Amino acid sequence: MGRQANHTPHEKRRGWLRHGNSPGDFSLAPRCEARTRRGTPCQCPAMRNGRCRLHGGLSTGPRTAEGIERIRRASMTHGRRSQAAKAEQRSLRDLMKDCRLLLNQLAEAPDGDQA
């Protein structure tokens, strides 16, 4: 059982490779093209999700609601522009506007009204 030089194509092999990669010429496979630390695109063959095994190709993504929440928290920078923060800022702005209006009304009102 040695490796034989076989120059004829493998006509019997028609199945898919592992991880859903298509059979055929390896060099024609779509490339990952993730940005590497050198700044150049990754040249590894891409998996079904478009990335190679080193750049997220093996990742199945979050499977549970807890996993989604963990990723959401990890990718949030500071949250000052989140929906909750914007709603809080809006309510505080409205409260300040109401206070300002009330103070102006009190300042304009004659002293006799308070009695």
User: Which one among 29, 42, 45, 50 touches Zn ion, defined by CB under 5 A?
Assistant: 42
| 55 near Zn ion (CB under 5 A) | yes
Segment interacting with Zn ion, rule: CB under 5 A, options 1-9, 25-33, 67-75, 92-100:
25-33
Q: How many residues bind Zn ion (CB under 5 A)?
A: 6
Coil, strand, or helix at residue 62? coil
| CB neighbour class for 47 (10 Å; exposed up to 12, middle 13-18, buried from 19) | buried
Measured from the CB atom, the residue of 29 and 34 that comes closer to Zn ion is 34
Whole-number Cα distances in Å, 78 to 57, 72, 75, 85, 90:
28, 12, 9, 10, 18
Note the residues at the interface with Zn ion (CB under 5 A). Answer: 32, 34, 42, 44, 52, 55
